[in-house]
Amino acid sequence: MTARIIFDLDGTLIDSAPDIQNIANASLTKIGVAPISLEETHSFIGKGIQNFIARAREARDIPDKYQKLILEDMTARYETAVELTVMYPGVLEALTALSQSHRLGICTNKLHRPATSVLKHLKISQFFQTVWGGDNPLARKPDPAPLQAAFKDLGTGLRIFVGDSEIDAETAQRAEVPFILFTQGYRHNPIDQIPHDMAFDKFSDLVAKIEVILAQS
């Protein structure tokens, strides 16, 4: 059976937090604000760049009037912020195996151009037939609209969403699709508090998890 498998990006396929921290701190330095830590960066990721900046401003008591300035500065740096980003171990092998039988796509709250840029930099863009970013014309996750649109782009077949966060879990629930949780990403809560159909902590186990869902369908 052929499945349509959509992946989240940051915290699921790639660890991009060091690059995001780097460009955020470059933007904050321009306005004389103390940098954010990697731990803070992890906690701010998930709902898109606008929310990320709002969380950073709140943490550093930065007035609202700086939101647009920081957004413009971070966005200008974002597309080329790829040098510190890495794939999680086993991602390349899993994508290679899954692409033999299934159609793959991306649904992320990361802006589209930075998302496609990092996929190309890591040489994995060829695996994905569709990429939906957080600046799409529909909505951002957890609204299910971009996820549903990504599935539509992939034609027919069982739908499966793979992500790492509470946002991804809610998106899957609202789209009424099976959700596979990657437990080593940017989640904030214990695994048992995040709704999921399957969970995995290393990508060498993902193909088997998907086969189980296919067998149950």
Is 8 one of the catalytic residues? yes
Active-site residue, from 8, 73, 164, 168 = 8
71-93 burial, b if ≥16 CB within 10 A, otherwise e? bebbbebbeebbeebebbeebbe
The span from the CA of 129 to the CA of 154, in Å, is 7
Separation of alpha carbons 115 and 107, rounded Å: 10
**With the C-alpha atoms ordered 11, 187, 105, 77, is the resulting torsion angle positive or negative?**
negative
Active site positions, annotated: 8
